[in-house]
């Protein structure tokens, strides 16, 4: 009896972790698509064709206090200077995903 319950709990726990792992990977993968369709025009390879100082590389993100999902989500949502706002064009989930992708890529570009 106890053995069966134990096995059931392990299965549940394992599927939970598997699912959580997949969710994170899917978000970044989905964010990558959002990025190539909406951001790459100005930020190809993590650069910045409009304002060359403000790339998406970790060093620049840190320099301009942008190295956090919250800050990136706010800027994509509201826009800033020459960067357009994406409210209405992207859903909140798409914006979260693209922010996760930018952070994941920041030290890989």
Residues that bind ligand HEC (CB under 6 A): 38-39, 41-43, 48, 50-51, 54-56, 60-61, 64, 66, 72, 75-76, 80-84, 86, 98, 102
Count of C-beta atoms within a 10 Å radius of residue 6: 10
Specify the residue, 27 or 43, whose C-beta has the smaller distance to ligand HEC.
Answer: 43
In whole angstroms, how close is the CB of 107 to ligand HEC at the nearest point?
A: 13
What is the nearest approach in angstroms of ligand HEC to the Cβ of residue 4?
49
Question: Closer CB to ligand HEC, residue 11 or residue 91?
Answer: 91
Q: Which is nearer to ligand HEC, 27 or 38 (CB)?
A: 38
One-character DSSP codes across the chain: -HHHHHHHHHHHHHHHHHHHHHHHHHHHHHHHHHHHHHTHHHHGGG--SS-TT--SSHHHHHHTT--SHHHHHHHHHH-BTTBPP-BTTB-HHHHHHHHHHHHHHTTT-
Least separation in angstroms between residue 25's CB and ligand HEC is: 19
- The least CB distance from residue 43 to ligand HEC, in Å, is 5
């Amino acid at each position: 009896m106890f053995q069966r319950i134990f096995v059931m709990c392990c299965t549940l726990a394992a599927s939970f972790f598997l699912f959580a792992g997949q969710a994170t990977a899917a978000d970044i993968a989905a964010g990558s698509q959002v990025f190539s369709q909406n951001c790459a025009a100005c930020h190809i390879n993590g650069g910045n064709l409009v304002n060359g100082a403000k790339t998406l590389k970790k060093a620049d993100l840190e320099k301009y206090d942008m190295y956090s999902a919250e800050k990136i989500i706010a800027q994509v949502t509201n826009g800033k200077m020459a960067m357009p706002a994406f409210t209405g064009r992207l859903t909140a989930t798409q914006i979260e995903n693209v922010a996760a992708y930018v952070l994941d890529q920041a030290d890989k570009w």
